[in-house]
Copies of this chain bind each other. A is one copy, B any other.
Amino acid sequence: MNTALSALGRRTAPPPISWLMKTALARPKLISLAAGFTDNSTLPVEISRKLLNEILRSPKTGQPALQYGTTAGAEDLRQLTAKHLQKLDGGHDRAHSPERVLITGGSQQLLYMTLEALCDEGDIILVEDPTYFVFLSILQSRGIQARGVKLERDGIDLIHVEKVLTRLKNSGELRRVKALYLVTYFQNPTGATTSLAKKSAALKLLKKFERAAGHPLYLLEDAAYRELRFDHGEDVPTSLTLPGAAERVIYTGTYSKPYAPGARVGFGILPEEIFSVVQYIKGNHDFGTANLLQQLLARALSSGLYDQHVAKVQKNYARKARVMKLALAEHFPKSVEIWESGGGLYFWARLPKGISAGVKSNVFQSALKADVLYVPGELCYADDPSRAKPDNELRISFGSANEENIRKGIARLGKVLKKFV
């Protein structure tokens, strides 16, 4: 008998990372520099307890928190979110409208629903090379094509974006392109941050190709790691601050990484046309994100405890990133190129050309034997027929490991690399 699964069901594959996680669990001494988890020790246990007590102290605030809310999200949290983003963007309010804020179960859910709203099977999304691999899993599952654009230290290579768009125009495929997806702050996996100049140029470039596409081309800005900045560098404004943003920027962010993944609340700001549709899709998914978590985040934001907590988290990651930086300098061969990051959870390492760090490589297998795990960079590249996937890169996370394990893990990994590089 055949399967009853849909095309989507048949396409949907186990995530590559789940295999990595199982590997990690099977080796109790293994140090994982793979997981994108946040640091357990920084989680806001005390703050959450205090705030939940306040909410549940009286029926007046407790009952609404335990009841259904509206699909778009709690009014106060939508307001606070718009205000929070305005503040981060230096007071800008061009496209920071609470009416277009949608509260979701993490920004992941918003990415998923946005792709549902925009893309049919066979449609095309431009992505960074490399990019966030769970986004690639969504594309794969939904039968959406990806086209990679080159990534530099300050964001995408604009000349390459234009080249890719031109090629798609010439081949008649431009009408299938719906958006350019950028992870703009301390990118997963490379740690790169996109400059405002590049966001602005990308938005203009998309506009230029709209007539040929026959429909709007959206800039999908994923700012999940934005608040995990620790380098005291200047914050880069979001593309919401740019002219035309209200019509063409789909912005996603999250309280999950800076506050707590276990109290999963994310959000998006979407152009009018997209907003309603994604809101209705959200209604079909779950009617709206759990109110209790929304109220928790609203109180954290309005009390100032959220900002205090984020400052603490930033300090912790700054320390751990420094530990990793020093360990890398001490243990890694000099021929390995390192992209340090000023925020987020990841460093990116590139081996000399010709040396693979992929899942089946000697490097990866030897690292496993030496009880240290990283994410092979090749997993972060889209299936794009127009280029081969580089396999000489590693995503190394300082997120969940403690300082001692970061030192040990990097030492182990360095020893392995010295055998092959």
A137 nearest CB neighbor, chain B only: B284
> For residues 260 through 290 of chain A, which have their beta carbon under 8 Å from a beta carbon of chain B?
260-264, 273-274, 276-277, 280-281, 283-287, 289-290
A292 and B9 contact, Cβ closer than 8 Å, known pairs A3-B215, A105-B286, A273-B3: no
At the interface, yes or no: A235 with Cβ under 8 Å from chain B? Answer: no
A49 in contact with B53 (CB, 8 Å) = yes
B286 in contact with A106 (CB, 8 Å) = yes
Q: Which residues of B contact A214 (CB under 8 A)?
A: 1-2
Q: Which residues of B contact A277 (CB under 8 A)?
A: 5, 9, 12
Q: Which residues of B contact A284 (CB under 8 A)?
A: 12, 108, 112, 134, 137-138, 141
In whole angstroms, what is the CA distance A283 to B216 when docked? 29
> For residues 297 through 340 of chain A, which have their beta carbon under 8 Å from a beta carbon of chain B?
none
A273 nearest CB neighbor, chain B only: B3
A3 nearest CB neighbor, chain B only: B215
Contact bitstring A32-62, B, C-beta under 8 A = 1, else 0:
0000011011011110110011001111001
Contact stretch, chosen from A115-123, A352-360, A377-385, A387-395: A115-123
At the interface, yes or no: A6 with Cβ under 8 Å from chain B? Answer: yes
Q: Which residues of B contact A4 (CB under 8 A)?
A: 118, 178, 215-218
At the interface, yes or no: A293 with Cβ under 8 Å from chain B? Answer: yes
Partner of A66, one of B48, B280, B281: B48
Contact stretch, chosen from A13-21, A183-191, A342-350: A13-21
At the interface, yes or no: A197 with Cβ under 8 Å from chain B? Answer: no
B66 in contact with A210 (CB, 8 Å) = no
In whole angstroms, what is the CA distance A69 to B37 when docked? 10
Counting every copy of the chain, the complex holds: 2
In whole angstroms, what is the CA distance A118 to B138 when docked? 17
Q: Interface on chain A toward B: helix, strand, loop, or mixed SS?
A: helix
At the interface, yes or no: A291 with Cβ under 8 Å from chain B? Answer: yes
At the interface, yes or no: A68 with Cβ under 8 Å from chain B? Answer: yes
In whole angstroms, what is the CA distance A67 to B264 when docked? 9
A105 in contact with B290 (CB, 8 Å) = yes
In whole angstroms, what is the CA distance A119 to B4 when docked? 8
B6 in contact with A118 (CB, 8 Å) = yes
At the interface, yes or no: A109 with Cβ under 8 Å from chain B? Answer: yes
At the interface, yes or no: A7 with Cβ under 8 Å from chain B? Answer: yes
At the interface, yes or no: A63 with Cβ under 8 Å from chain B? Answer: yes
Partner of A287, one of B8, B108, B120, B123: B108
Chain A residues packing against B (C-beta within 8 Å): 1-9, 12-15, 18, 37-38, 40-41, 43-46, 48-49, 52-53, 56-59, 62-69, 71, 105-106, 108-109, 112, 116-120, 123, 134, 137-138, 141, 178, 210, 214-218, 260-264, 273-274, 276-277, 280-281, 283-287, 289-293, 295
Which 10 residue pairs of A and B lie closest in terms of their CB atoms, listed nearest first? A45-B62, A262-B291, A49-B56, A66-B262, A9-B117, A66-B260, A4-B215, A43-B66, A264-B290, A68-B261
Query: Can you add 17 more A-B contacts, CB < 8 Å, to A49-B53, A138-B284, A263-B290?
Result: A3-B273, A5-B118, A6-B117, A9-B117, A9-B277, A9-B281, A14-B276, A41-B63, A45-B66, A48-B62, A49-B56, A67-B261, A105-B105, A112-B284, A261-B291, A264-B289, A293-B293
Sample of 7 A–B contacts (CB below 8 Å): A6-B120, A9-B118, A18-B283, A66-B261, A108-B285, A137-B284, A141-B280
